[in-house]
């Protein structure tokens, strides 16, 4: 299995960073979360003057066998249709990426469709048909999981080599809130009923059906309960690729912008494998999907935004990027009391 070498940021610079933040022309602590973010980014980059370069939103896409059980309001073909919309620039995350200066990378990790060669679509298909139906069998083999981790990590290495130091992750795959609910319940021991939500828009009867399918899937599971086994049995290729991407990003000391319910559960899995990776995460938003706040609370994470989002695609993390930018601008562009010749007023 691929190994990562992740170290938490060295805290040796923390006192100097905090002193710089405290001596900017403002009451101490008056910029709240911006101050905490500036400290976090400064520690990640090990500098008193952090910078954000070439932000990228990577969208991993794959189909899910569990979608055959009617756990999503949307049919499986929507996965490939939305990918075309990404490539045509018409999806929700596309306008947000344009607005905030993000490059988009779209990765086919296992969509059940034969795409022609499209330069803007990165082909990393693990298996054409997507994952298997975890109601009856494991979603993927160990070899497929390994390949997905490596592919996901490789995309991030490419981003890093192109000058990126702040990266957002998104996903596309009909049925992936169901897979995420399974990761959440297995890795946190939060009851399944509290992990299951409406996904792309199920009504109450649809949510009840989804829960019953997932309950039966959990009853049928005969694995060893380890993090890797839960990832393999219930995950999607795009989710495992995101875990690999997040771990490589942490290894490269990049800032990781975390999107919604699915990507937060990918952080959950990644941090169970390498706890130090969470030091590199900035949680963009708390969405409307049932269970999202619970998994954030489990991780001890506080999201920057709460806008009722449940689109996925990395939309919430890209939407939160200006707050991160504001934090970095604060530490770099505000004058100190000494520079401004102002008497400290705290």
Structure tokens belonging to residue 39? 């400290």
Residues whose CB is less than 8 angstroms from the CB of residue 181 and which lie 6 or more positions away in sequence, other chains included: 192, 195, 196, 197, 214, 291
Q: What residues form DSSP beta bridges with 24?
A: 336
- Residue whose pair of structure tokens reads 């499209």 in the numeric block: 118
Backbone torsions φ then ψ of 308, nearest 5 degrees = 70, 25
User: Which residue is catalytic, options 35, 144, 313, 333?
Assistant: 313
Residues whose CB is less than 8 angstroms from the CB of residue 28 and which lie 6 or more positions away in sequence, other chains included: 22, 346
- Per the document, the length of the chain is 346
Contact in structure between 131 and 139 (CB atoms under 8 Å):
yes
313 is known as an active-site residue: yes
What are the distances in angstroms from CA 306 to CA 64, 201, 287, 292, 317? 28, 19, 6, 11, 11
Angle, CA 217 vertex, CA 136 and CA 278 arms, to 5°: 115
Backbone torsions φ then ψ of 144, nearest 5 degrees = -65, -40
Q: Secondary structure of 194-251 in the HEC alphabet?
A: HCCCCCCCCCHHHHHHHHHHHHHHHHHCCCCCCHHHHHHHHCCHHHHHHHHHHHHHHH
Q: What residues form DSSP beta bridges with 169?
A: 58
Determine if residue 116 is left, alpha or beta; phi over 0 gives left, psi from -120 to 50 gives alpha, anything else beta: beta
Type and span of the H or E element at 157 = helix 142-161
The residues annotated with a catalytic role in the active site are 313
């Amino acid at each position: 299995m691929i190994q990562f070498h992740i170290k938490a940021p060295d805290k040796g610079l923390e006192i100097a960073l905090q002193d710089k933040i405290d001596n900017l022309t403002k009451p101490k602590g008056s910029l709240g979360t911006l101050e905490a973010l500036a400290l976090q980014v400064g520690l990640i980059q090990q500098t008193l003057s952090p910078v954000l370069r070439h932000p990228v939103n990577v969208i991993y896409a794959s189909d899910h066998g569990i979608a055959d059980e009617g756990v999503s309001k949307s049919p499986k073909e929507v996965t490939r249709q939305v990918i075309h919309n990404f490539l045509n620039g018409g999806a929700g995350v596309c306008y947000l990426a344009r607005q905030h200066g993000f490059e988009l990378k779209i990765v086919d990790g296992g969509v059940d469709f034969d795409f022609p060669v499209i330069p803007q679509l990165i082909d990393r298909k693990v298996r054409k048909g997507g994952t298997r139906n975890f109601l009856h069998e494991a979603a993927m083999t160990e070899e497929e999981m390994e390949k997905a981790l490596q592919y996901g990590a490789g995309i991030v290495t490419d981003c890093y080599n192109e000058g990126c130091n702040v990266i957002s992750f998104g996903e596309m795959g009909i049925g992936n809130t169901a897979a995420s609910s399974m990761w959440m319940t297995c890795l946190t021991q939060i009851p399944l009923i509290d992990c299951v939500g409406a996904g792309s828009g199920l009504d109450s009867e649809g949510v009840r059906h989804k829960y019953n399918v997932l309950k039966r899937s959990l009853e049928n599971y005969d694995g060893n309960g380890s993090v890797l086994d839960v990832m393999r049995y219930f995950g999607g290729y795009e989710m495992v690729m995101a875990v690999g991407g997040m771990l490589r990003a942490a290894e490269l000391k990049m800032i990781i912008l975390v999107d919604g319910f699915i990507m937060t559960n990918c952080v959950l899995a990644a941090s169970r494998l390498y706890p130090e990776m969470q030091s590199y995460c900035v949680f963009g938003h708390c969405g409307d999907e049932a269970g999202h706040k619970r998994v954030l609370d489990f991780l001890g994470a506080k999201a920057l935004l709460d806008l009722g989002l449940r689109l996925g695609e990395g939309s919430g993390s890209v939407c939160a990027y200006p707050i991160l930018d504001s934090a970095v601008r604060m530490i770099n562009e505000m004058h100190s009391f000494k520079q401004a010749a102002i008497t400290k007023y705290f």
